[in-house]
Amino acid sequence: MGKAMLEVRNLKTKYVTRFHEDVYAVDGVSFTIEEGKSLGIAGESGCGKSTLALSMMGYYFPPLHYISGDIIIDGKNISGMKPDDVRKTILGSEIAYIPQAAMNALNPTQKIIRFIEDVIRAHDPKKDKKEIREIAAARFKELGLPPETLDKHAVELSGGMKQRTVIAVSTILNPKVLIADEPSSALDVTSQKMVIKMMKELMEKGYIKSMLFITHELPLLYNVTDDIMVMYAGQIVEKGTAQEMVFDPVHPYAHGLMDSILVPEEGTRGQKLGAIPGAPPNLKKPPDGCRFAERCKYACADCRYTAIPEKPFGDGRMYRCLKDVDELKEVYANE
Amino acid sequence: MSEEVRNNTDFENKPLCLSGRGVTKIFGFGDKKTVAVDHVDFDFHEGEFVSIVGESGSGKTTLSKMLLGLSNQTEGQILFQGKPRDISSGRKKKEYWKGIQAIFQDPFSSFNTFQKVDNVLLDCINMRGGKSLSKKEKFDMMTEACNFVNLKFAELTNKYPFELSGGQMQRLMIARIFLLKPKILLADEPTSMVDACSRATILDMLLNLRDETGMTVIFITHDIGLAYYISDTVYIMEHGKFVEYGKADEVILQPKAAYTKRLISDVPKIHEEWDLSTVDQLSEN
Amino acid sequence: MKNTLRQVFHSPKFVAGFVIFALILLTMIIYPLFNPGNPLEQIGVGTFAKPGTYVSLYDAAKSPTETLRLADANDKRIASRLSDSDRVEMVEWFKIMNVSVEGLDISDTDALIDLWSANYDPSVRPQGMTNAKVNYYKRLNNQINELRSGDSILIADYDDEGNLIESKKISSEDYVNTKSVANVKFLPLGTDNFGRDVLKELVSATGTSIRIGLIAGIVATLIGLTFGLLAGYVGGVLDDVIMFVTNIFTVIPSFVLLILITYSLGQEQRGATVVATVIGFTSWTWTARSVRSQVISLRNRDHVNLSKLSGHSLLRIVLMDILPYIASYVVMAFILQVSSGILAEAQLSLLGLGPKTTQVPTLGLMMNWAMLYSAHTNGSWWAYFPVILVISLISFSLNLMNTGLDQVFNPTLRD
């Protein structure tokens, strides 16, 4: 078992709104990513996956507020730190964060090299320009980005190039964790593939020690990450390896999600797609019992009133459902 | 049910519904000239489920605007039910739009946020000449349409669009088409902004709609997996041209054009290895 | 809609502006009820009567009196009659007489009078003092003595034979209840150069100015909105033509245009409504430009396309599918137009190009009159300062409302 790079213990955060109706967007999430491993988070929009990414950086600004829990990066607990300290000492060197719109974050009036100078100097103010340029050029070359890019402005690059440049810039300090929130969703398939290839290279070459990948596209997650967690209404409902999660999901929600996968492969045409009716619960007042009970085909009366803990099973897997694993598998088999 | 239709029907012999000959759209003049759609030919038959697949910038949205009659083609001819279509005046456009309707990509911008959602359906009934119907009849029609898309009409009345989820809105758009019963439905990426779970529901409903009314559905998407799942015929579009078209099975499982091959290989799959090494560094842009 | 209103009235800025503006409007409605009549009636014969309560001397003299023995009555009387210059002259006298004035406070009337009676001698004529000065000191002394003596004032009448006989004697301890005086006039802001009640005039002028602002705002918004909607939605050649006109109007400073138009209209044509319309006509460009750009971004929204596909007419699409989306924006622009309309009227009137009117005052006209009759140099602050205050309050409250609305409708501006 590898060394834990990112450990999150029972993290709870909320959004405080204008009329004081708090939204509990992340409600008791725990997981560990080991060195050299990548973890994917899947779920519908509004299930809290993006909030979880923001919460994990420890960089809280209104309306997001921290309630409780620990975030431990390589043995260092950052959960109690001030946002300013987090920005100075954690972001960039410990954690790198790539949101979906990262490519729009580049200031169009500056050359790419300037961003790299900013990132490096934020942690080592004494580095001179020549040194920085050497580091940057070497890294860009290694990642398959043309070194001329360094002297270009953001507007001169295509969407995919911009996104890859952002990733290269934000990982220049070799962070321990890379959090990527839908980094390729706005891109064409070809550009997406290049972004993914680059992220995999970063992992293989050890520039980043671990990765957290968030997307709603399951086939992508399956191909990118080692493990997958499925999130629903601020909680994790099932966790397992990518293989297990895609081909052998246990939780009814995960099962429905995996049934909705569409890929251009023989046999997918004409198969019945899984559909989950209804909408996620209102997180201002989360239900007492299972949060998925309202939409679950297999729910019983107990499901609605019993708070359900995370139940471990199999080889390090976990799920959150009242029913037994075998029971659920039997139900799926008979469908 | 829908499976049989999808696998067995040969649409070649069905009557033509919408076809195009040398359809071209050019923006700008002189040096700034951009050819968005470049001399494309197509034949969409009655009851056919057609997908037009292309990446962003391939011209598929421009083509859809032309098919809908929201913009005119620069060159070429679009034939509606075998006759050249005429949308030169407002009245003729209205007539054409009785035969073709659309569902757009973003459900949140498809509704007028200042009007209650039942207005959308009421409008459709009026448009179909149901202005003189009694309240009860109108109500029954709207209820039927909502039942078709698994929505409860009673829950929708007096609601504004922003009170619905994206999936619900998109289903309401299908209910609208159900009431209008056009000859052709153009669906422009109707599932790209909704969740995977709602996506399945919407796709099923589109198939049901086609089976029930026999309308032609033109499905525009960037997701080749989706196109393969849902359509009878697939057109692959690159830089304003159709590089390949044919039955879904043939195009997806035995692609001939290099672009189609690349498109398929670039999509992550779950039963086959996703080969990252084939990325062509120069193919970007 | 309801939710939007709730949000709007949750914005502290909007509420503050709204309250100020509502108070101004309320005063405008309620004050004339208590003080009816023509606001331009010349009640005073002199110019610039000070603010205060005016008691009819004629009525007071004939009113029944009460005798009140107030200990400090004398002192107050003397204090109020001794002007500052008198006091300075008194100190001057002491200096000439080599009396130490150290520690003397000239506002301390008691000490001053004591020192005066101890040191003034009418028979002394200091060297080098002019006759006039000597006489002045004598008069001053008499006045002080008279004030101190508390002599009664005699009111005399002619009897039947034409001889003067005493009809009433007013002692220094006689008091009249203001309630028994028939004519007491309270002028909180005094009168202006024509002897008109400034407060009454101000209330009426505020009403006229707000009306001018509203007319200007409505005219500007209507023109701007129509042009913006047409240019934005129809596009093409129409857009080019409208934008050409708009650009011309933008390039020429609107105030210059305003001056030229109002000047060429001539004195006789310039009523308040005409000036308001002209102001509106010169300030629509900004609304037109911003409405156009908003409409262009809305034009390609899917719901507009769907509305077209449903066969709706252009008018219906514009009114039902586009206008509601820019309504909040138009309301904000309208509020700004009203505010700038009021200011433009004030500027014009100050130059003497405002509404020519003998029936209704406007805020600008009041400023113009005050300036023409040198209210600012002769210290008649009440003739212009309240006007400035009202203008500032109106535009402050309108801008505050606008900022409040902006924060509600553009969530990115919220703090």
Pairing type for strands B184-188 and B100-103 reads: parallel
> What ipTM did this prediction achieve?
0.86
Helix, strand, coil percentages, rounded to 5, for chain A: 35, 25, 40
Q: How many other CB atoms are found less than 10 A from the CB of residue A68? A: 11
Confidence of residue B5 (pLDDT cuts 50, 70, 90): very low
Model pLDDT, residue B66: 92
Nearest CB partner across the interface for B225, out of A188, A259, A264: A264
Q: What are phi and psi of B189, to 5 degrees?
A: 45, 55
Whether chain C has a CB inside 8 Å of the CB on B115: the answer is: yes
Is the pLDDT confidence value at B142 over 60? Answer: yes
Contact list, C236 vs chain B (CB under 8 Å): none
- Which residue from B247, B249, B243, B246 is spatially nearest to B262, judged by alpha carbons? B243
Model pLDDT, residue B235: 94
- Which residue from B66, B56, B53 is spatially nearest to B227, judged by alpha carbons? B53
Percent of chain C with pLDDT over 70: 98
Rounded average pLDDT over C128-144: 85
**From CA B111, how far away is CA B107, in angstroms rounded?**
7
Q: How many CB pairs under 8 A join A and B?
A: 124
Q: How many CB pairs under 8 A join B and C?
A: 45
Model pLDDT, residue B53: 93
Sign, CA torsion A260/A263/A268/A269:
positive
Rounded average pLDDT over B102-120: 87
**From CA C50, how far away is CA C53, in angstroms rounded?**
9
Please determine, looking at this structure, whether the domain spanning A4-109+153-253 carries the CATH number 1.10.150.530: no
Nearest CB partner across the interface for A44, out of B195, B280, B284: B195
Cα C409 to the center of its chain, rounded Å: 33
Nearest CB partner across the interface for B111, out of C303, C305, C310: C303
Question: Which distant-in-sequence residues (6+ apart) come within 8 Å of A181 by Cβ?
Answer: A49, A50, A53, A97, A98, A99, A100, A214
Cis peptide before B255 (omega within 30 of 0): no
- Of B227-236, C2-11, C71-80, the range with the highest mean pLDDT is B227-236
Contact list, B198 vs chain A (CB under 8 Å): 275
Model pLDDT, residue B42: 92
- Per-residue DSSP letters for B183-248? SEEEEESTTTTS-HHHHHHHHHHHHHHHHHH--EEEEEES-HHHHHHH-SEEEEEETTEEEEEEEH
Contact list, A224 vs chain B (CB under 8 Å): 268
Length of chain A: 335
Model pLDDT, residue B273: 80
> Quick one: DSSP state of residue C144?
H
Inspect the interface and report whether the beta carbons of B104 and C306 lie closer than 8 Å.
yes
Closest residue of B to C314, CA-based?
B90
Nearest CB partner across the interface for B114, out of C310, C311, C324: C324
Q: Show me where the domains of chain C are located.
A: 2-45+192-413, 65-175
Rounded average pLDDT over A199-210: 91
Model pLDDT, residue B284: 46
Model pLDDT, residue C389: 94
Query: Residue B101 belongs to what H/E stretch?
Result: strand B100-103
Tell me the CA end-to-end span of chain C in Å, nearest whole number.
23
**From CA C24, how far away is CA A115, in angstroms rounded?**
54
Question: Which distant-in-sequence residues (6+ apart) come within 8 Å of A208 by Cβ?
Answer: A96, A171, A174, A175, A176, A177, A178, A202
Confidence of residue B282 (pLDDT cuts 50, 70, 90): very low
For C2-45+192-413, which CATH superfamily applies?
MetI-like (1.10.3720.10)
Residue-wise pLDDT for A52-69, tens only, equals: 988 888 778 878 888 899
Whether chain C has a CB inside 8 Å of the CB on B75: the answer is: no
**From CA A29, how far away is CA C34, in angstroms rounded?**
69
Q: How many CA atoms lie within 13 A of C202 on its CB side?
A: 23
Inspect the interface and report whether the beta carbons of B284 and A217 lie closer than 8 Å.
no
> Quick one: DSSP state of residue C97?
T
Contact list, B196 vs chain A (CB under 8 Å): 44, 216, 218, 257, 260-261
Contact list, C325 vs chain B (CB under 8 Å): 113-114
Question: Which distant-in-sequence residues (6+ apart) come within 8 Å of A72 by Cβ?
Answer: A4, A6, A7, A8, A9, A78, A79
Mean pLDDT of chain C: 87
Model pLDDT, residue C342: 93
**From CA A135, how far away is CA A117, in angstroms rounded?**
10
Q: How many other CB atoms are found less than 10 A from the CB of residue C37? A: 10
Residue-wise pLDDT for C40-78, tens only, equals: 888 888 888 889 999 988 888 888 888 888 888 877 888
| Å between B226 CA and nearest CA of chain A | 6
B residues 117-176 lying closer than 8 A (beta carbon) to C: 123-124, 127
**From CA B265, how far away is CA C395, in angstroms rounded?**
65
- Which residue from C298, C315, C306, C317 is spatially nearest to B70, judged by alpha carbons? C306
- Interface probe for B, chosen from A190, A215, A218, A297 (most Cβ of B below 10 Å), is A190
Q: E-strand spans in A182-322?
A: 210-214, 227-232, 235-241, 311-313, 317-319
Confidence of residue C412 (pLDDT cuts 50, 70, 90): low
Question: Which distant-in-sequence residues (6+ apart) come within 8 Å of B156 by Cβ?
Answer: B117, B118, B146, B164, B172
Model pLDDT, residue B1: 38
For the stretch C249-258, what's the b/e string if a residue is b when 16 or more beta carbons lie within 10 angstroms of its beta carbon?
beeeebeeeb
Cα C123 to the center of its chain, rounded Å: 53
Nearest CB partner across the interface for B269, out of A191, A196, A219: A219
Closest residue of A to B224, CA-based?
A264
Model pLDDT, residue B2: 41
Residue-wise pLDDT for C211-233, tens only, equals: 999 999 999 999 999 999 999 99
Closest residue of C to B95, CA-based?
C311
CB A234 within 8 A of CB A283: yes
Inspect the interface and report whether the beta carbons of B199 and A261 lie closer than 8 Å.
no
Pairing type for strands A210-214 and A177-181 reads: parallel
**From CA C397, how far away is CA C342, in angstroms rounded?**
13
Inspect the interface and report whether the beta carbons of C309 and B101 lie closer than 8 Å.
yes
- Interface probe for C, chosen from B100, B109, B113 (most Cβ of C below 10 Å), is B109
**From CA B108, how far away is CA A45, in angstroms rounded?**
14
**From CA A59, how far away is CA A87, in angstroms rounded?**
7
State the alpha helices, DSSP H only, in C97-232. Answer: 109-119, 131-149, 198-229
Q: What are phi and psi of A177, to 5 degrees?
A: -130, 135
Residue-wise pLDDT for A9-51, tens only, equals: 999 998 887 666 788 889 889 999 999 999 999 988 878 888 8
pTM, rounded to two decimals: 0.79
Percent of chain B with pLDDT over 70: 94
Query: Residue A201 belongs to what H/E stretch?
Result: helix A189-204
CB A212 within 8 A of CB A34: no
CB B90 within 8 A of CB B272: no
Tell me the CA end-to-end span of chain A in Å, nearest whole number.
38
- Interface probe for B, chosen from A225, A269, A294 (most Cβ of B below 10 Å), is A269
| Å between B281 CA and nearest CA of chain A | 8
Residues from A contacting B (CB-CB < 8 Å) are 44-45, 144, 158, 160-161, 188-194, 196-197, 200, 216-220, 222-224, 246, 256-257, 259-266, 268-270, 273-277, 279
Nearest CB partner across the interface for A194, out of B204, B253, B284: B284
Categorise residue C48: left if φ over 0, alpha if ψ from -120 to 50, beta otherwise.
Answer: left
CB B88 within 8 A of CB B72: no
